[in-house]
Structure 1
């Protein structure tokens, strides 16, 4: 692929976009715009909130891919994002790919988003970024699982950045650099583990006793993180946390 062709390959990618507002006290999806890689689709739901599935429409991530998801939840609206697919980053063969999620929550908005595993094959090289801007009273409950390698693989290069603001103030700024296998396998980083998973609640401090795996933030919010060899081990640790914290969200 020539440089011009590679540039054209990236330029044709379009973001997926979700906009949810409240109408007569109930949440309504005003915009469900399909992107290059996923199509937001409404699901049946009970109560005043809406449930939206992120249905895959194209394989990703390959070299040159630029995945973008934009979610806007208006004041007082409630959204449950369902991710049935997860993400598999393929061998980039010397190229790179990017994955970005941009979330904006209005005053009193609530978003639950449980991502399926984000898996990096051998040879993948991905820049991943999640940015969330929460107004006063907004709450974001988020589950993330990063997996380095498929079965019998060590996994490619990953740099994962998270930037969360709440009521105009920074709540979490994290740069997780897992690009160098030798560095990430050092004691005190990942060692021989290959799964990094967390449940995060932003906008409210969840109930529960202090624990080595729990980090209460300086502002309203907390992280509960696990580092394991297999994704199912992380689920066993974090599923009770997700259940407890989701019940705590107003």
Structure 2
């Protein structure tokens, strides 16, 4: 059973269904029109053989804000591997803001991480993924990521990254950087700026390559002001 967050806008009281698996979602206080949910690890994460799956469904004119209470460390897996899969569906004017905490891939870890987002026209998402290859002083393990996003039937974003130690130091990937910090917006664009890629459809990718995660300014700057498409 996956971890699941399901939110439905309602004129009387917004409905929120939370299901726990590897992660425990817990509702937090929030202003009208906003549902805030914290994700708390229900046990040790991320270990060899773990298959974490998170499903998020938001329906109606409401914003879901997901808060991670701590970062995640993928530990040494001694020849085994683990997965971290996220499925998001936004319907009927819904919006999502999810600023993730650092996802650290320790030495000898092997992780496949996927994010899939499906939006109806009129919905928006803003997602931060902060990937850190290795704890301090380590050469981090292997990480493969896959990101797919659809606006209605049209593919908006497709990206696959091989962040294994032998490949990620290429000049076109990370070079000498150890951290890949990304904010992806879907359904609206960020203002034009250095290090911001505008997608062909309605969306943007702002990215920082840094040695220490705290050197990135993406976590300190909430970029929810849409630019004109």
Please name the residue that 1:9 is paired with: none
Query: Aligned partners of 2:171, 2:59: CA distance in 1, in Å?
Result: 44
Instruction: Confirm or deny that 1:182 pairs with 2:176.
Output: no
TM-score, length basis structure 2: 0.95
Conserved in 1, the CA contact under 8 Å of 2:8 and 2:59?
Answer: yes
Q: Counterparts of 2:210 and 2:101 in 1: how far apart (Å)?
A: 16
Tell me how far apart the structure 1 counterparts of residues 13 and 131 of structure 2 sit (CA, whole Å).
Answer: 34
Higher percent of residues as helix: 1
Q: 2:43 aligns with which of 58, 63, 72?
A: 58
* SS in structure 1 at match of 2:218: helix
Q: Look up the match of 2:97.
A: 112
C-alpha RMSD of matched pairs (Å): 1.5
8 Å Cα contact 1:26/1:49 also seen in 2 = no
- Please tell me whether residue 16 in structure 1 is matched to residue 10 in structure 2: no
Deviations 1:133-187 (A, max 9, x none): 00110000111100000010010000011000012211100001112x1321122
Contact 2:107 2:140 in 1 (8 A): yes
TM-score normalised by L of structure 1: 0.87
| Number of residue equivalences | 227
Give the 5 Å matches for 1:129-148: 129-148=114-133
Structure 2 CA distance, aligned partners of 1:230 and 1:125?
Answer: 21
User: Is residue 246 of structure 1 aligned with residue 228 of structure 2?
Assistant: no
**Aligned counterparts, 1:1-250, within 5 A:** 14-24=1-11, 27-29=14-16, 31-35=17-21, 37-179=22-164, 181-206=165-190, 208-211=191-194, 213-234=195-216, 237-239=217-219, 242-243=221-222, 245-248=223-226
Distance 1:186 1:205 in 2: 29
Bigger radius of gyration among the two: 1
Unaligned runs of 5+ in 1: 1-13
SS in 2 for 1:24: coil
Task: List per-residue Cα deviations over 1:1-54 (Å, max 9, x = no partner).
Answer: xxxxxxxxxxxxx3101110011166331x10111x111100011121110000
